[in-house]
Amino acid sequence: MITILIGDNSFEIQRALDDIISDFDGNVEKIEGSELSVSQLPDVLMGVSLFAEKRLVVIRNLYENKSVWPVLGDWADKISDDIHLVLVEPKPDKRTSTYKTLLKIADVHEFVQWTDRDVGVAEKWVAAEAEKRSLNLNKKLIQTLVNWVGIDQWQLFYALEKLSLTEEINEESIKNIVEPNPVENVFNLFETALRGDTKNLMEMLKTLEQTEDVYRLTALLSSQTFQLLTVASAGKDDNVAKDFAVHPYVVSKLSPIAKRIGKSGASKIIAVFVELDDDMKLSRAEPWLLVERTLIKVANI
């Protein structure tokens, strides 16, 4: 039997793998695909164990092995009936002959990472997970948690684990116990700049400089700038969240700002960040200094 777990949603892949392992009574053989050689395939795919009638063999990232992956299809029909082979492949090339061969005989499960369009899916998932843990989370608290953490399943999972250790769950306890999504931190920084609050802006930058990667922070700030322009440019009949795939929570937070500064103000901010992009590429100064200078310009618009 062959099972293939593919996709960029590592959480769901791991959960599916855990389910397979939990249903197997015996020792699991875990192999790193990049370290496997062609000469080892007979033992891995056909060999029987002296200590067990059945074998569960889990191989990760075999597609990256350029010598083994191309010939794996030739071994597909030779795999022993006593072996359950599980291939974990985040990004296999579906055009390869090996994948096409395996697709005909394997049980394939694809797990796709959630996007900003999947907020509703994330909330339903949190509700189901909370019920498993007997956590008292109403709809409002679930929305608060998803908005605070984001839609990364690993982070939501760890957040629920933390909340299961507290006696009372409310909005305050969520924000005190659970680490916010980095996007939330960056938005607070961006919002502080838009308010012209340079004093708090400098304090926040000092803190973020110790915890954030400057290039990642710059990318998030630039993304929020373009989202601001999108919201500011939207007409009355436009559904920004749906039409432009902007998180509804982000739209709700940017809308008052967009209304205040208008399309003209948003365009000026875009120009400032375009300048930042050029300065970063040309290394005109230390990256954090460039970010600081850019946000001060935003504060003065």
Q: What is the pLDDT of residues 80-107, one digit of tens each?
A: 888 999 999 999 999 999 999 999 999 9
Asked if 291 and 218 touch (Cβ cutoff 8 Å), the reply is yes
* Helix pair angle (214-233, 182-194), 10° resolution: 60
Ramachandran region, residue 7 (left: φ > 0; alpha: ψ -120 to 50; beta: rest) = left
Closest CA to 160 of 140, 132, 124: 132
pLDDT at site 99:
93
Residues with Cβ within 8 Å of 188's Cβ and at least 6 positions away in sequence, in order, are 204
Rg (CA), the chain: 25
Asked if 239 and 277 touch (Cβ cutoff 8 Å), the reply is no
Span 18-58, pLDDT tens digits: 999 999 988 899 999 989 999 998 888 887 665 667 889 99
Instruction: Give the Cα separation of 206 and 216 in Å (integer).
Output: 16
Selecting from 2.60.40.1220, 1.10.287.990, 1.20.272.10, 1.10.10.10, what CATH number does the domain 182-299 have?
Answer: 1.20.272.10
DSSP assignment string, 88-118 = EESS--TTSHHHHHHHHHSEEEE-PPP-GGG
Instruction: Give the Cα separation of 136 and 144 in Å (integer).
Output: 14
Closest CA to 89 of 4, 1, 2, 3: 4
CA–centroid distance for 221 within its chain:
18
Mean of the per-residue pLDDT values for the chain?
89
The two three-digit tokens of residue 93, written as one number: 């090339």
- Quote the pTM value: 0.69
What number is the average pLDDT over the span 156-183?
A: 90
pLDDT at site 50:
58
Instruction: Give the Cα separation of 126 and 132 in Å (integer).
Output: 10
Sheet of strand 55-60, all strands in order from the earlier edge strand to the far edge: 28-32, 55-60, 83-89, 2-6, 107-110
- Asked if residue 289 has pLDDT above 90, the reply is yes
pLDDT at site 39:
92
Closest CA to 113 of 10, 3, 245, 18: 10
Residues with Cβ within 8 Å of 221's Cβ and at least 6 positions away in sequence, in order, are 186, 189, 190, 273, 291, 294, 295
Selecting from 3.40.50.300, 3.40.50.720, 1.10.1740.10, 3.40.50.2300, what CATH number does the domain 2-110 have?
Answer: 3.40.50.300
